[in-house]
Amino acid sequence: MAAGRTAPRAPRTWRTPLRLVLTVGPPLVGLFLIGQAVVASIGGDIRKGQFALGVLCLVLGAAGRLVRGR
């Protein structure tokens, strides 16, 4: 490849920030919620709703990967 020549970049669309938010945010929140529920369950307090919400957040993160970026 010749020096100074780069491939043309596609224009940013509204989907690019949406994809970033969906791929980064919910998985972090999901891991936090599942971790918190696991720690609570060690003490005997089973929080099924919190586990389910954490899994839902992880699924949202996977769905964010399906959104086309550019």
**pLDDT per position as a tens digit, 26-36:** 889 999 999 99
Contact 53, 31 (CB under 8 A): no
Average pLDDT, the chain: 81
Name the band, by pLDDT with cuts 50, 70 and 90, for residue 70.
low
Q: At what angle do helices 48-64 and 15-42 cross, to 10 degrees?
A: 160
Name the band, by pLDDT with cuts 50, 70 and 90, for residue 45.
confident
Does this model's pTM top 0.85? My answer is: no
Nearest one of 44, 52, 49 to 60, comparing CA atoms:
52
The burial class, CB within 10 Å (0-12 / 13-18 / 19+), for 14 is exposed
